[in-house]
A and B are shown apart, each in its own frame.
Chain A
Amino acid sequence: MSAEATNAPAPATLPPAGPAPQAQSRKRRSIFVRRPFFTVALVIAAAYLLAAAFAPHVAPYDPVLQSMDAMMQPPSGAHPLGTDSYGQDILSRVIFGARYALVIGIFSVLIGAAGGLVIGLAAGLSGGWVEWALMRLIDSILALPSLILAVAFIAILGQGVDKVVIAVGLSMVGPFSRTVRADVMQVKVQGFVEAAHLMSIPSLQVIRRHILPNVIFPLAVQVTIRISEAILVSSSLSFLGIGVTPPTPDWGLMIAEGRDFVSFAPWMSAMPGFALALLLIALSIVGDGIREEYDPKSRRGA
C-alpha cells in the first residue's frame, strides 16, 4: 500500500514535465526536469504526506492492535515490514508514525519561525541596548544544541505530543532569530527603505510593506530546510524515552523498542529508522532545491 502511494504521484508529475522542454524551450525549462533529484525527493515527501493524511485508509492494520499470535514476525506477505514484540504491524505503525513526525516537524518549525521572526525583527530594527539584550539571549540559546534544549523544555513541560511540539519549537527560536536579524540588518540599510522613509511613509508601514516581504521569503526557505531537523530532534526525544509516550506509533519510540531485539529481529528498529532517514533526506533535498531555485541573490542574475 505504501509502495503504491509512493509510486502513484510519480506518473502524475512526470508526464507534464516530459514534453515541457519542447513546448517551452525558449523559456526556462521546468524545475522538475532541471532537478531530477529534487523531483524524486518531492515525490517521496508528497507520498509521506499522503500516507500521513490518509493513514487509516492506507495502513493494513490498527497501529496499536497487539496480537499474541504474531509476535516478532519477520517481513512476510501478511506483515510486509514484520511485527514488533507486541505483535503490532510495523508497516501500519510506520505509516501512522509519519503523522506524528510531520505534525511535530511542521508545527514546531512554525513555532520556531514565528518566535524567530518576532525576536529577529525586534533585534534587527531596534538597535541599541534592546538589540544587545535580545542577541545575548539568542546567543545563550544557541550555545546549547537544540536536542539538549528540547530535553530541558520537556523536563519543564512534561511528556506528550503537544509538549514535544512546543519544546522542539522553542529550541529552534534561536537559529531562526539569528537569520531573521541578519536579513533585517541587510534589508533595512537598502536604498528602497530610505526612499520609503523619504516619501514620509510611516515606519510600521515601511516594515510591513518593504522589510517583511524581503525577510519572510528567506525565512520560508529556512522553514522547509529545518523541518527535517525538527523531526530528527523529536524522534531523538522519543528514542530517549522522554518525548511521545508509548504505545503512540512514533518512529523514535519504535527504534528504541526494537533496540533490545536488534540481534535477532533487526527489522523492528531498521524499518522505522529507514522511514525516518528517507523522509529526512527527501526533505533536505526539497529544501535545498527550493532555496537554490528562489534565492533572490541567484535569481537576480537570471
Chain B
Amino acid sequence: MMLDTATTRTAPSRTAPIFELIEVEKVFQVRPPGRRFTREKVGLRALDGVRLSVEKGASLALVGESGSGKSTLLRMVAGLDAPSGGRALYHGRPIREVRAEGPGFARDVAMVYQDARGSLDPRMTVGALIAEPLRHFGIVPKAQEETRVGELLERVGLPADAAKRYPSGLSGGQVRRVAIARALASEPSVLVADEAVSGLDVSTQAQLLTLLRKLQQEMGITLVFITHDLGVASYLCEQIAIMYLGRIVETGPTDAVLNAPAHPYAAALRGAAPRFFEPIPEPLPGEIPSPLDLPKGCRFSTRCPMAQDDCRTRDPQLGTLGAGRAVACLHPLAPSDT
C-alpha cells in the first residue's frame, strides 16, 4: 500500500509528458500545382499521424529533410497552428486551449526562430528587445530591468554595451544570441528552437551549442530542437525523432538511433553525413516526394534501397523496437546491417 502511493505520487512528476502529440495531422489547403486559375483546393498533408511525447527535462532533436514537416510540428508545439486532426496536448490539455487562456503558456514555452533577424523588430534596440518579454511577463521590477538585460546578454556571451545597438548592426551569430537571450528572458521551462545554430561559422556554433547544453543540464530546460546536422543532434539531444514526409519514422535515444539506425531512411541520413577522410557514400536517390501525391504503402518505398513488394502496399505504423525506440518500417534493419 505504501509502495503503491509512492509510485503513484512520483510517477506523474517523472513520466507525465510536457507535450504529447497523439495522431496529429495538419492539412493545408493549397491550390493544385501548375493550375493557377482555379478556386479548387487540395489538401496538403504536412503532418500525418505524428505520435510524440516530450518529457520534462528531455532534449529532443527533430531531424529530417526539407519538407518533412519539422517546422510545422514545431509551430504546433508552440501553439501557432492548430492540428487539423488528432490531439496536441500540453500537460494533458490541448495546446491551443492552454495558449488562449493567458500568458502562462507563452511564458513557459519560448521559441527561437529559424530566421533570427526577422524575429527581431529592426526599430528596437537589443536592450529593448530583451526587455520586452521581461516587462510583458512581469519577470523583474522595472528598476532591475537593465541589470537583468545585462545578465541575459552576458549569459549568451554578448558584451553589455550590445544593448544599445540595433539588430542591423550585429552579425548573424550575434543576432542568434540576441534571439536566444530574448527567449530565455521569460524564464521558460521549454525552449523550442528551429535551426538555431545552422548557417553559422563553426566556432560560433560551438559556443551556442555549449550554451544551450549548459542551460539544458543546469536549469533543466526542456529542449525541442530542429536541426539538419546529426552531429549537433547527438551533442545536444538525448532523444531524436527522424521525420520523413510528415511522419516520424524512427525515434529513440540519439546514440542508439545514430549508431544502429533501424529505419533505412535513418541509415541513409547517417550515411550521408560527411565524415573525416572518407568519401561521401552514395546519396539517397531522388527527391522527397510531394506530400500532395503520397506514394502507396510505405511512404519511403520510392527511395528505399531495401524496399520489398509488401512495402509498396502496406503502410507501416510506428512500432516499438527495443528500449525506448520505435520505428515505422516493415523490415527494420538489424544492427549488423549498418
Contact = CB atoms under 8 A, between A and B. Distances in A.
Our verdict on whether A and B bind, yes or no, reads: yes
Interface of A: 190-192, 194-201, 209-210, 213-214, 217, 296, 299-300
Contacts of B136: 199-201
B225 interface: no
Contacts of B115: 191
A217 B106 CA distance: 30
Given A198-B78, A199-B136, A192 B119 contact: yes
Given A200-B103, A201-B136, A296 B78 contact: no
B293 to A, nearest CB: 28
Nearest to B116: A191
13 contacts: A192-B121, A192-B122, A195-B119, A198-B80, A199-B103, A199-B106, A199-B132, A199-B133, A199-B186, A200-B106, A200-B136, A217-B123, A300-B168
B120 interface: yes
Contacts of A199: 103, 106, 132-133, 136, 186
B122 A191 contact: no
Q: What 10 A-B pairs are tightest by C-beta distance, nearest first?
A: A191-B118, A200-B106, A191-B119, A200-B103, A192-B121, A195-B119, A213-B123, A300-B168, A191-B115, A199-B106
A210 B121 contact: yes
Contact of A214 (B78, B113, B119, B121): B121
B111 interface: yes
Contacts of B102: 200
* Interface secondary structure of B, over-half rule: loop
Given A199-B106, A199-B136, A200-B99, A192 B168 contact: no
A214 B80 contact: no
A297 to B, nearest CB: 10
Contacts of A209: 132
A185 B80 CA distance: 19
B112 to A, nearest CB: 10
Nearest to B112: A195
Contact of B118 (A192, A198, A217, A299): A192
A213 to B, nearest CB: 5
Contact of B122 (A195, A200, A296): A296
Contacts of B106: 198-200
A190 B123 CA distance: 13
Interface of B: 78-80, 99, 102-103, 105-107, 111, 113, 115, 118-123, 132-133, 136, 168, 186
Nearest to B185: A199
Given A190-B118, A200-B99, A214-B122, A195 B111 contact: yes
* Interface secondary structure of A, over-half rule: helix
B72 to A, nearest CB: 14
A296 B80 CA distance: 29
A195 B79 CA distance: 12
Contacts of A200: 99, 102-103, 105-107, 136
Contacts of B78: 198
Contacts of A213: 121, 123
Contacts of B186: 199
A198 B123 CA distance: 19
Contact of B111 (A198, A201, A214, A296): A198
A226 to B, nearest CB: 22
A192 B78 CA distance: 15
Contacts of B105: 200
A53 to B, nearest CB: 32
A296 B168 CA distance: 10
B116 to A, nearest CB: 8
A217 B122 CA distance: 12
B113 A191 contact: yes
Contacts of B79: 198
Nearest to A205: B136
Contacts of B132: 196, 199, 201, 209
Nearest to A213: B123
Contacts of B103: 199-200
Nearest to B129: A192
Nearest to A216: B123
Contacts of A198: 78-80, 106, 111
Given A192-B121, A200-B102, A201-B132, 9 more contacts: A192-B120, A194-B119, A195-B119, A198-B111, A199-B186, A200-B99, A213-B123, A214-B121, A217-B123
Contacts of A299: 168
A198 B190 CA distance: 14
A9 to B, nearest CB: 31
A183 to B, nearest CB: 13
A198 to B, nearest CB: 6
Contacts of A210: 121
Contacts of A192: 118-122
A42 B99 CA distance: 53
B221 to A, nearest CB: 17
Nearest to B100: A200
Contacts of B99: 200
A113 B121 CA distance: 24
Given A214-B121, A214-B123, A194 B168 contact: no
B282 to A, nearest CB: 38
A300 B117 CA distance: 12
A287 B118 CA distance: 28
A200 B113 CA distance: 16
